[in-house]
Every structure is written in structure tokens, then in C-alpha cells.
Structure 1
Amino acid sequence: MLQPRLLELLTFLSSESRTLTADELARKLAVSERTVRSDIKLLQQELPADYAKIESLRGKGYQLIVIEEKLFQQYLQETIRVKQERLYTRVETPAERVNHLMQLLLLADSFIKMEDLAQACFVSFPTVQNDLKQVRSLLQQSGLDLQKKPKYGIRIAGTETEKRYFLSAFFSKQAGWHKPYSLPDAIVSEAEIRYVHDIVHKFVTENNLMLSDVAVQNLVTHIAIACRRIKDEQYVELAPDAMQDIIQQPAFREAAQLTAMLEAELHLFFPQVEVAYMTIHLMGTDYVSKSKLDGHIGMPDLASAIVARIYDKTGLDLRSDQELLHGLSLHLKPAVHRHLYAMNVRNPLLEDIKRHYPLAFEAAVIGACAVEKEISIQLAEEEIGYLALHIGAAIERSGKTVRKIRCLLVCASGAGSAQLLRYKLQSLFPDKLDIIDTIEYYRLLREKEWDADLIISTIPIESTVTPLPVILVPVILDKEAISKLEAYLHFGQQIRYIKPAYVFLQQDLRSQEEVLAYLTEVLQSDGKVGEDFLTAVYERESMAPTSFGNFVAVPHPIEARVEETLWVICTLKQPIDWAGKQVRFVCLLCIEKESDEDFTGMYQQLVRIIEEPEHVQKLLKAESYEDFHKALVSI
């Protein structure tokens, strides 16, 4: 698909039978001769070879040679038609209009009148005004804004660097893992992307750089955007001290090599400031050497600080995992570079990481707190996601599994029947049950403290006797008893965190704020949490939203703040917005402070809910605690 300027160039060439000089073409297109030469090369690649070609005559200029007149005219008319559709597209939804308006504004070099924007989207003036509120909100998140000028219209105001970062971030969010380059064709064509990708791949290969596919994709995207902006003679600006600092970096020499390759292939000129901009992006990959971080803590020390804080706050001990420490150390340096230069990074795995590896992600959030404490840098959610990948791999290497449930067996019918029941349970559940003792009922009354998670009893036991959950079974286990035990062992370890008093079903709450305020108020009235609990929950939300998709949110503080681990459940009649995701199932997670319990199993069970839509729907249909409990154990 031809970009508007390439189409204008082709149309002009086709209207003239004579040779046109680069100067004539430059004046016609209002660009430099260097840009003309670059565009001619791109146009030659885009033109179907059987239809036409562009001849370059040394000392004279360029001439379009049509090979198949009919086919060429059809091609030209179709390209013009597509251009009209792109610029004047009937976009139906507000999201589509916002996307289209964003493209028009980003491509404009000057002010655009509101009536022209309305005409471009085939909507009314008030509709465009309303859509521009969303455009402004998105721009402001990246330090940009809309500037209005009476009688002239509006344009995007901000630095060139901010505009480029926004282009990358905004359109990358609309791409998945299998569509790494999602820039609109009007901004960067597929042909340009392919050219840049091939040059970057050659550069990476020749310099023996070990970059992930995502790192290469990020680099290619930023370079392709830079090339387009340079063609439009829109250059970045850097402060003199920052410029000198970057020039001193070893990566500057490599950036100069890369820009030289781009100049040779694309016929562009990269001024020194653009070479410095390229250096910043190289430093934001795993390719870094001496940098402006020399005055900060070393990256190995920072990696150690991360795993130490994770151990301190969760009990998850990864301090001796050298592979993790090495991986974090390598990743942190470019990650901090990206922060220092306000670079965005694309993490196409982020939502999957949050949904399928919540324990690793929460550990990474705690690790990000360590980074902020040590070097006063707050990592973005995408960066936290990459930390979680390293931590998740370490958890897998550690071979952590859900520990057996510690069970106390109460049997009143004598030692023989007690042993029979014990051996039967051990044979049925060898990997799930750890029977720590077999006792009589009077011992349970006499000794209140037992290091157990569960009591299996052949006699009824009142809840006033023990706080532990009790499963009543016959001495000779029947099918019903075995099914009851299987259901508990499947999800029972976590069911003990869910109490009827803290399960609120089919609530008519209308916002995230209402939900969190309501649940916190209940906990405060019962003396479960302090006055700072809600503030701590919002602090965690500010680091990375706890909405995981599938209508589920699991809010919680970063650090444990309660005396007893609880899941406070709330289901909603209607979905609410939670950081851009629709939510109907909320599990307010309260973790016991200073607990030595391994919560790996708890997070694994949360994953069972989060990652399966049918599980969530079962729980959302429940209208009573009994229905909810039944649905939970069936998952």
C-alpha cells in the first residue's frame, strides 16, 4: 500500500512524459532532494514490475516507463481509491474514530480544522469534539496534548521524541505476538518495515548481538518511525549535556554503524542528534556497556536486593539461584536505561504473565519496589512483566509444588479402627495428605495448638472446639466420604481462606472505587484491617492493575497487613471498568503478615479461576454461599 507522498510522487511522474529532476520533484512535494531519492527507491520496490518502472538517468533525473498501460492505470486508480478510503473512512465505533483521528493528527505537519476532521470521519462536528476528548486523554498519558488555535484548528503539541514514543506505544498495543509490526500503512509502509528489519537483522548478526525477537521488534519499530520522521524533516532534540554524555558511550559507535547502513540502503541522512537517538535505543536493549548508571548501584547488587526483598516479604527463597541473579542483572541495566530516557517497551506477553503466573508477577512487583528503594526508579508494568518471566522460571527450577495438607485424624472407636482409617487415607491420597497424628477426641479438647491444616474426624466436632476445618467421615470410608475428601483436597486448602461472612454475591456496585471501599469497610468494622489498608491497596494498583481478564480482579496490598489470610469475595450484577478491563468477580486478597506459610498452592488455585472463563462463569451464577461453595469445589 502506497503512502500518500509516494502516491503523489507516482501521480506526478505519470502525468509527465519527460524526465524530471530531483529538484523539480522536491519542489513539487515540498521535501528535500535526499527525501526524493529515498522515495524513488521505495516507490520502485512498491511498483509491480510488470506494470511500470522508474528509470534513473544520471545527470538528468527520473522518468516513469509504463510497460502495461491498462494494468498500470488500474493499479493507479485502485491505489487512489484506497487512499481516499483511508483518509475518509467510514469508521463506526468511537474506538475506530479515535484511532483514525490519531493517525490524521500524527501525520499532519500543521493545524487541522475541526470541520476537516469531521468530514474525514463522516461524522458531525459535536461527535468529533467528543472523540477528541479521548484522543487528548491518550496523548496526555505520554506527555503530549492537543493545541488549539482559533481559525487554524488543532494539532498535537509535544516534543518529537514524545511523538515517536507515542506512535510506537499506541499502535503496538493493538498488535499481538504474531503481528509484531502494527503501524498503520499511512505512517510506515510494510515495504519500509521489511527494509529496516533486514538492515537491523544484518547489523545484529554482524555484531554478534544476542537479542530476543521482541527486542528486535521494538528496535525495528522505533527505527522505522525515526526514518519516516526524518523523511518529513522532523528531528529529535537533545540537551547539549545529554548529547555529550551519549556521544561518549561505546554504543554511539555502533549506532553510527547502524545509521550508516540505513543511510546507504534508504538514502536518508541521519544528523548527529539522530545517531544519538539511535544510541539511546541500542542502550535500551541487552547491548550496553559503560553508561550513565556508573554512579548507581551495580546491577548484580540490584538483582540481589530484588530477591532479598522478595524473600523478606513473601518467604519465597530464590536467593541462591545464580541463574536468576545473572538473568536479572543482565536485564536490569537496559531496563533502567529505558527508564532514564523515557523509552517505552512492548511486552506482548504481559497479560498472559499476569493471568497464568500471578505469584511470579506479584514477586516481580515486590522486586520493583526494591528497585525504587535502591535507585529511586519506578519500573513500568511492562518491565515488571519481564522481571516476572525470570522469577517464574526460577520458581519452576526450584521445583516448588503444593505441599501436602497436614491432617489430624480424630477417631473415637479405638486404635485398630484408627489405624485402618489412617492407612486407607494414606493409600488414597499419598501425595496430598500428611497425617501428622491420630488422636482421641479428649486430646483435641485438652491441646488447643496443633500444627495442622485440617481435621478428619469420625465424630462431629463443634466449631467452638477448634478453628481448623473439619471433615466428618465414617470409619469405613464409603464413596460419598471419598468424594467429599477429593473435593476438599482439590480446592480445600484454599477454601479455608473463604468464609461465608466475607462472600458477597450479586452486588449492585458500580465502580472499582465502590467495590474496594465497601469490602474494606466490612473488614475494618470486623477489626481485620487498619485504616491504611485501602491506601495500601491503591498503591499496589498504581504499580500494575490487578485486573487479569476473564472478568476477574484480585486487588491486594503489596505487603502483608493482616493477622489472618482471607479471600474476600464479591461478585457483581453488572461489569465495572477496572483499568480498562471489565470485571465482575473480585477477590480481595488479604495475606497474613509474618507468615511462614508457602502460598504457592494458593496462587495456583487462583490461576485455576483466572485462566478459565467457564470457571468464572460458574462462580458468577451463584446466588447463595452454598451455590458458590459447590461451584468452587467443582472447579
Structure 2
Amino acid sequence: MNKRSREMLLLFVEQQKNWTISKLAKRFEVSERTIRNDISDINDYLKQQKITQIQFGGSGRLIIEKDIKKVKKLGENGDLYTYRLSKEERKVLAAALLIQTKDHITLSNIAEMLMVSRATIINDLDGVKKFLQSGNLHVISHSNKGLRLEGSEGDKRLFLLRIMSIGANEIQGESVIRSFLKGLGMEFELPEEDRRRLQRIINEQEHVYGRFLTDASFDYLMQYLMLSIQRIRQDSQITEEVDGNKSKYKMARDIIKYVSQYWGLDEGKGEADFLCGVLDSMSYTQRKRRDQRIIGLQLVTRKFIENVSRELNVNLNRDFNFYENLVDHLESIFMKSFNVTQRDDFLKKYVEQNPRVLEVVKNHLDMLEKFIGREISEIETDYIVIHICAAIERRKKKEVDFQVLIVCGGGVGTSQLLLSKMENRFDFHVVDVVSAHLLRETEYENVDMIVSTIPLKNFEKDYILVSPVFTDEDYLRVSRKIEELQGRRRVPKKEKSQEEQGKKTAEKLLKVLKPVIKDENLMKEVSKKVREFFGVEDPEEEPFLYELLPPEHIQLDVKCRDWREAVCKSAQPLLEKGYIEERYIDAMLDNIRENGAYIVISPGFALPHEGFDTGCIKVGMNLIRLTDPVVIEDIDGETETVKIFCCMSTEDHKKHLKAFFHLVNMLTNRQFKEELMNADTPEKMAEIIKIYEMRIKS
């Protein structure tokens, strides 16, 4: 408890009634948030002394019980926070104050904040300077202004992390340091929801880049990013570029990109550079077979969707967004990064309203549980149901002329992220994207629906609270709201905006031009120019199957003695073209010996593959059709006869997903497989693949 908190507590003892947060903020010349933090500290003390804690009433009013008078007696006995900071503790806290001060701070200011004399701080100053110098930070004295700290923003952050991690073995009473830091406004923790969001960002990038942090390094990175968010909010950005090893730059860049988007921050030019250095200094674990397991999970998920679609009599097999979202969710269960433990009311109600979907999911959970190696919990099952219900709802989507306002708390960047997530699922008109503090009810009287990423305090109009990542649960919330609005009034069909008309016209024109322009490179250039002309962005998509299997990646009538030779011959062109390394082939062979015929994704068709950390350079495919089929023995003793081997190299766990999804879909078509078996040239087979894939796309 700091000096201000003590004064406030004694004030409550003398005068118990009529105190509000705003009155106290004005009296002590601090923010209302600071007053709330002080009262939290006071309540900690009251709890220790078994005195009724202070409660918050309406309009910021404080509810103070009569037994607070006991505090006065404690004070008279000298028990009211008689704790005095040690010299080591003062050194640490003074250093923290200097780092947090942007310009100058006087010795008197430091003394007042630490509740000691100015002479004490003068005696401590040499120790504080040496302590900061150990972190490449230097204290500069100015006769008229006080003390100022010189050093890079990166060094300041690392030093603050060092202060925050000081343990009891270094300085007695770690809790005292933490308590004083909090009292001085240096609390770098995030709310629980934001912490989970940050954990998801790190987990996602671990998966994408195949680099998995040890638990200690993961916690350190969490602390660094939470600290960075607060520092950037205080306009303390890393703007200078940092030299050094850039091996983890892409991972650092993507982490910074998503953190900036979710929290509405400006990206400093040097933020990714510096984070790259932080990542280089960390420890990583070896995850053998992890990436191959993820590809296996994609196969199992595809089969699960087939079974659920068949039993529900709803074809969800071609919904790529559904497939991708469900794979991500199941991967989070598999990698133990899914940490939701309680059902909220909406989730519970929605699952109960869809008993048939729940029943069908439970009927086929065993195939997922067998792969994951454990039972899937009730809450995890509920979220699978939500994904399926969202996919079914999307099939019913109608274009309506709704006027929608999007609101965020951290900046327009967060709202733009939400908008990009929503625009592929709904076709309503977004009238504006605003920050929460700029929202005025009178300015948006004609808006049909307000979607916000944060709770809107003191806002009386109805709105829908969603996550910036816009989950399937959020989709269902918005869908239900649309249905409610449609029930109240007739909503006219939406007229296409000029931008939407341009997009539609561009796609129509490109569809006409594709059969005429045979040269792929020329077609890409034409597509770019057409989209530029109509003012439409050129989407950066994962490659299609036909793009990965042109004629030069197909060989027919290949002779092989057994499945081992077939796997090697299907992979050899990828090796020669620089897609994979030799060890990738060895890893595939070892995996098949260990796990059997898992690579057979359809009768007669095998997809040999491995994880991208076992010698894969870039995403690619190469297909061979054998003159005579070969046999692969499964681990349970059964055999599979295979005539087509399509080797796949995986750059990451996402980029191949669309091609893989289309391939598995096409293999369910008996006619497609027959045409593959009967094609007499690589060119003819490539054409068959493209024709059938374009049917899926359209």
C-alpha cells in the first residue's frame, strides 16, 4: 500500500460516507483507474485484518462499513503498514521509476513515491546507476530538471522484465516489489481474456513455423509481449532497426502483426527486429512427428465431416471454411492449447437447441478420440457442434440490406480485422467503423445492428459482443440477431455496391478469359490487370491442386516392385526440383513402416507425405501411376492395393490445405478416379484434375 492509499484509508476512518471514485480522483489529482487500484490495495489490507472490505455501489459510490474504525486502533499501535523498503528494494524500484519516466524525474519525486527522505535517495543513487548500467542504461543528471535515463527502448523492456522476474533468492520479499510496482502504475499484466488471446497467437505461430518454445520460454515471451503492449500504448515504441541473426524474423513479424491488429497498435519499424532477437535467445523443444500428425489430423477431420454430412443428410464436404476452422479447433485440442473449461449460457442454449447435431457428433467422436489418444470432453464436443451448426447456417445465408456499425476498443485496426473476418460470411452494409470512445447513440439512430469487440458501458442501445477473431460462436450470435430483426420487419434485398459489382464483373471476365489464355504466367498477369482495373484486391490464396500437378509433375506407367520403390519414385522429381531433401524420403519410408497404410486416402490412391520440419523446402506434389498395383500392409495386418502414388511436400501446415481438401473431395467421385486410371498422357491427366477442381470451385 503506497502513501496515497494510506492517506485514503485514514480518510475513510474519519469520514465513512459520501465518497465516490470521482471525488477521490479529484482530491488526490490522479485518474479514477488509479483510485480503483488503490482501493484494491486497501481491501487487501482490510482482508488481512478481518475488516469488512470496501464495496463499489452505483455511479462510483463507495460502500464503507462501520468496522473500518478498527483501522485507527491498528494505526495507533504502529501496525498500519510499518514496512520499510530495504536498500536493495529501493534500488530496484528507483530503477523502474527512471525507466517509466519519459523525460526527467527529480530526487524528491522518487523519494515521495518510495516514502523515504530525499537524503536516502541521494545515498542510494550510485547503486541505482550501477544497477542500470548492467542493462546498458545510463542515468544523466541535469541541475535544473533532475534525472533522465538514456538507452534504447529494447534495453528498457528487457530491464523491466528482469525487475519483474526478481525472485526471493535475490531480494527478500518479491511480493513487496510487485506490490510497489503496481502502486506506481507499473502493472504489465493483461485481463484473462486478453491473456488467452495472446497465448493463441503464440501457439498459432509455433505451429505455422514448427518452432515450439519450452514452458519457461513461452512464459517469458508472454511477459515480454504484455509489457510491449503496455509500452506501445504509452508511445514507447522500438523504431530503430536492429542488426543480428534474422533466422526467426518471419515468425517475429507475424506475431507483431497479429498483436498490433488485435490490440489496435501501430507497428514500429524495429518491433519485429527486436522480437526476432528475443526469439533467438529462447529455448525450443523437439516435436518429432508433430507435423506429420497434424496432416494425419487433417485426413481424419475430412473423414469425420464425410460421416457427419452423410448422417445429417447435409453436404458439408465442399465448405472449405468449415473444414479449415474445424481442423484448427481439433488441432488446438490435440496440442492442448484449447483451454475453455466452462460453457457460457449462449453456447449451452444453442447446443441444447440442436440435439440432432449433438447426437450425430457423438456417434462419430470415436474416430477423433482414437487419433488424439484420449476422450473428448463435453465442452470440446460442444464446440465441434457449434462449428457444424455454423456451417449449416452459412448454407442458408441470404443477402439483406442491413445497416451495421462496428465498434472496437483498441483502435480502428481491431475493427478492420473483425470486418475482414465477417465480410466473407455476411453481405450487409457496414456504415462505419469507430472506436468505442467516439460512439454516440444519436449519430447512429438508423443503424440496424451494432457489433462490438468490447462491452459498451453506459450505452443503452442493443448491441452484439463478439471476439475480434470472429469465431463460429460469434457467427451464430449475429445470425440469430439477423433472424430476430427479420422477424420484426421485412428487410429488402441488398443492392450490390459499386465495389461488389466490380468484384463480380472482374471474376466473370476472368472466368471467360481462362479457357482462352493457355499460358499460366500470362493469365496471372492478366488477372492482376483486370482486378486493378475494377478496383478489386488480388487475393493471396493457397495453390490449387491443378497448380501443384501440372503435366511435368505427373508420370504414367511407372514400374515398381513394391510400395517402397513407389514412394521413392513418386518423390524423386520433387527431390530433383528442389522441393524436398533426401531425408524427407527416408522419413516417409520410416513412417509407413511404423504406422502402416495411413497414406491410402482412397481405395487405390496413396498420398505419401511427412512433416515440414523433416526436409521439406516448399509445397509441392508429384503423381505417378503404376503399370501394376503394389500392396501396403497395415498395422492391423490388413492390406491395401495401390496404383496411384501422389507424393506431397508440405511447406507449413496450411499452404497445402486447399489442394488437399479438393483432392480428397474429388476422390469421392467414382468417375474422376476412373478417368485418372484411363488417362493416356500426363497432359490429359492434368486436364482432368483441373476440370474437376474447377467444378468444386464454382
Q: Same fold (TM over 0.5)?
A: no
TM-score normalised to structure 2 length: 0.29
TM-score normalised to structure 1 length: 0.31
